[in-house]
Amino acid sequence: MRHNPMPTPTHRSRREAIDLANGWLQMVSTHRRPPRDEIHPDRRGRFELVLFDMDGTLVDKLSSWEMIHHALGVSNAANWERYSRGEIDDHEFMRSDIELWKLGGREIHVEEIESILATAELMPGAKECMDALHARGIATGIMSGGLDVLAHRVAVDLGMDMYVANGLALDDAGRVAGKGICFVEIRDKGRPTREVLSKLGVPKERVAAVGNSVWDAPMFAEASFSVAVNPADYGVRKAATRVVEGKDLREVLAHLLEADRA
């Protein structure tokens, strides 16, 4: 498999003697320049940045984690129940899920993860949506509790400017080592969103957000405008400024452009 030319936190983990989970938020640029350079504060429209959820929003799968579970023939239902009851945090949730992949002493190489996630299909209209936003000088980013291996591919394929997602710790041979690298907690997308906006110097009033589930509501709260696309629950409907019932992101684009002109 082709080597990833722009290291994600996952790919960096096997080469750097630092604990990335305790470092500053890994906002990864897809253009090999500081993400702040993608922001145009002097543009006349309302928005400087639109942040998108990934799983179920940009990708037609509800979870990149679930894609791997399904491919490896395991279920994390018990782990999800423990997490939902508040018995484990995100770090333990990730560790427990990864442990399922390694049952029976199986070794999982990052290339196998890449191969599984390469099958994820983009939502209809995703490229057109990004192209139109970029043509207006609006930066785009992914804010996802999913895996950076997929976030990297999606961001590059769509020409997006940056992403924040969770990673996998790897050993020196590129094998999954047994724990996750957590930057985006499922229950709290608000905290990394605030940190991204602070690092970029973008005020809340100049930000829009797009997502599909109640887990995106904290991200919506840090933006001045939000769109729920193909909503998975009532919580995201209630939190959003606008709601798009289908999966076509060109419909999301129409709402974003209307609000940008307002």
**Residue of higher predicted confidence among 19 and 173:** 173
pLDDT of residue 2: 46
Instruction: Provide the pLDDT for residue 24.
Output: 56
Confidence grade of residue 221 (pLDDT, cut at 50, 70, 90): very high
Rounded to an integer, what distance in angstroms lies between the CA atom of residue 41 and that of residue 14? 37
pLDDT tens digits, residue range 119-148? 999 999 999 999 999 999 999 999 999 999
- For the segment 77-87, what is each residue's pLDDT rounded down to a tens digit? 999 999 999 99
Question: What's the pTM?
Answer: 0.93
Q: Which of 238, 148, 182 is nearest to 20 (CA)?
A: 182
Q: How far is it, in rounded angstroms, from Cα 157 to Cα 68?
A: 21
Indicate whether 1 pLDDT > 50.
no
Q: Is 40 left (phi over 0), alpha (psi -120 to 50) or beta?
A: beta
Strands 176-181 and 162-170: antiparallel
Of 23, 30, 7, 66, residue with least CA distance to 182: 23
Between helices 64-72 and 110-117, what is the axis angle to 10°? 110
CA angle 181, 184, 186 (to 5 degrees): 110
Determine the pLDDT at residue 6: 66
Whether 72 shows a pLDDT value over 80: the answer reads yes
9-261 maps to CATH 3.30.70.270? no
Residue 14, pLDDT score = 74
User: How far apart (Å, rounded) are the C-alpha atoms in residues 233 and 212?
Assistant: 8
Window from 14-18, 172-176, 208-212 with minimum mean pLDDT: 14-18
Flag whether pLDDT at 21 surpasses 80. Answer: no
Residue 15 has pLDDT above 80, yes or no: no
Please say whether the dihedral angle defined by the alpha carbons of residues 134, 139, 143 and 148, taken in this order, is positive or negative.
positive
Q: Closest Cα to residue 92, out of 9, 10, 186, 194?
A: 186
Return the higher-pLDDT residue of 183 and 14: 183
Work out the average pLDDT over 208-230: 98
Give residue-wise pLDDT tens across range 111-125: 999 999 999 999 999
Give the domain ranges of the chain: 9-261
| Rounded CA separation 72/7 (Å) | 25
